[in-house]
Amino acid sequence: MVRICGFVLALLVFARPTLADDPKFKSVDIGQGVTLHYAEEGKGVTVIFVHGSLSDYGYWRDQVPEFAKHYRAIAYSRRYNFPNSNAPVDGYSAVTDSDDLVAFIKKLHLGRVYVVGHSYGALTALFLETRHPELLRAVVLAEPPAVSLLQHISPPNMEKGAAMYADIQKNMVAPMQQAFAAGQTDHGIGIFIDYVFARPQAWETMSADDRKDVLRNAQEWNVMLPKGTLFPEISPDAVRAIRVPTLILSGGKSYPFLAVIDDQIQKDIRGSRNVVFPDAGHQMWYKHPDECRDLTEEFFAKHKR
């Protein structure tokens, strides 16, 4: 478990034990030479859990058996996360991940599913809502970094959103792209960690074991940042057109730009609800695991069709 100053390393980061030694651990060829590993448990309507960046399906280790009491619970690793070993492609982003999820759902003949996404996994789920709503019963989004929406924030936060977007591009995305293009994985991750914690050398002061845990899932950024897109554009009109029932979970102590994005998504998706955990950061699923699960299952129960 990765921690800095007692707080869980957040935004798109969290290292967890894997489920690879579990008998429920499986893999599936979704086509075009891509194989995804996953763990599943339970029966009934399917709930798919999508992890964030620099993480893997083990992020949901504690939730899978609990949801399996009422659902067929599946946690999978996105294309370039442990233990997958898929070939690099140009143009990789959350859009690619959403296409992979479509193929995954169809390959396993899951029908219409529930999806729970955290961070970059929530961005993957948000793209899925705009592109393939026919596959979805309901979706839970935990702070998707839909950064492009910061350019389209409604008043009174319009100028604030624009400033946040410019700062992210200048001081996080551009330097990360330069570092990863030069093959400097460690430095690239350090730029990200230092930015989100607003503290120089936050990455360098982590223990060697913690850094190793994070680097295990660095392949997605090795592929994405030189020739792909970290935060792909998502159309505000496409978000406003979403009719999939959507619950948004937020941490009151998370990074400010995520709160602005969550608020805008809640305004844009008709009928959506935003629940904020005042004492939680980006890792509300670890700070309040039972509460998040109860809210999610209650929400799913209202949307059985």
Mean of pLDDT over the chain: 92
Q: What is the pLDDT at residue 70?
A: 97
Question: Tokens in use for 59?
Answer: 């992020």
Cα 65-67-68 angle, rounded to 5 deg: 60
Residue 247 DSSP label: E
Q: What is the pLDDT at residue 198?
A: 80
C-alpha 231, offset from chain centre: 12
What band does 22 get if pLDDT is binned at 50, 70 and 90?
low
Q: What is the mean pLDDT of residues 192-204?
A: 87
What band does 302 get if pLDDT is binned at 50, 70 and 90?
very high
Q: Lowest mean pLDDT of 47-56, 183-192, 205-214, 267-276, name the range.
A: 205-214
Please report where in the chains the tokens 């730029």 appear, as a residue: 191
Q: What is the mean pLDDT of residues 92-118?
A: 98
Give the 3-state secondary structure of residue 85: coil
Domains and CATH numbers, the chain: 3-154+232-301 (3.40.50.1820), 158-227 (no CATH)
Q: What is the pLDDT at residue 24?
A: 65
**Contact status, residue 141 vs residue 125, Cβ threshold 8 Å:** yes
What band does 14 get if pLDDT is binned at 50, 70 and 90?
very low
Q: What is the pLDDT of residues 119-134, one digit of tens each?
A: 999 999 999 999 999 9
Among residues 188, 214, 287, 289, the alpha carbon closest in space to that of 56 is found at 214
What band does 232 get if pLDDT is binned at 50, 70 and 90?
very high
Residue 39 DSSP label: E
Q: What is the pLDDT at residue 4?
A: 36
* Phi, psi for residue 7 in degrees, rounded to 5: -100, 145
